[in-house]
Structure 1
């Protein structure tokens, strides 16, 4: 993939399902309130992070390109 990504969690939407941690255990953690946090908000693009975003039941994971802000996930319509 080669890109860098900026990862954000919409904590108003996150339901703490833990799917992100299951799909990308090195990319996400859950805090004591079961809210997701990226381990590195700016990271290299990788398939596990994308799978976590795609597998989030409420689409609380937002991935953008840090230089341009262009959406990687969810894709802009």
Structure 2
């Protein structure tokens, strides 16, 4: 009876360890996926911020160029 009980305890410990390993592997896989998604979102956000800054600079530059062209045309017409 002692050998059977010992064998049963070993089998039970093996099953528990296997289950724990499987859960650990699943948890690690979820963490890897979450890190990948976060990295992708950070990259998209960084690109979006850069594009916004470029858009603002283009708008300001356009306003300056139109203003300069307007005053030069006015100077040419009036003078």
TM-score tier after normalising by the smaller chain length: under 0.3
TM-score by length of 2: 0.17
- Structure with a larger share of its residues in helix: 2
TM-score by length of 1: 0.17
Whose radius of gyration is greater, 1 or 2?
Answer: 2
Larger relative contact order (CA 8 Å, sep ≥ 6): 1
- Structure with a larger share of its residues in strand: 1
